[in-house]
Amino acid sequence: MAVYTSKPILVVFGGYLDSAGTVPRFTSQGAYDDCVTFAAEVNEAGGNATMLHLPAAGIGGK
Helix, strand, or coil (residue 56) = helix
Q: When comparing pLDDT for 21 and 29, which is higher?
A: 29
For residue 16, the enclosing domain spans: 2-57
Q: Would you state the pLDDT for residue 19?
A: 79
Average pLDDT over residues 12-38: 89
Report the domain count for the chain: 1
Total-model pTM:
0.84
Is the residue at 62 inside a domain? no
Q: Helix/strand/coil (H, E, C) string of 2-54?
A: HHHHCCCEEEEECCCCCCCCCCCCCCHHHHHHHHHHHHHHHHHCCCCEEEEEH
Average pLDDT over residues 14-19: 85
Q: What is the DSSP letter of 57?
A: G
Q: Would you state the pLDDT for residue 13?
A: 94
Is the residue at 32 inside a domain? yes
The model's pLDDT over 27-62, given as tens digits with 9 standing for 90+, comes to 899 999 999 999 999 999 999 999 999 999 999 876
Residue 6 to residue 23: CA distance in whole angstroms:
32
Q: How many CB atoms lie within 10 A of CB 46?
A: 10
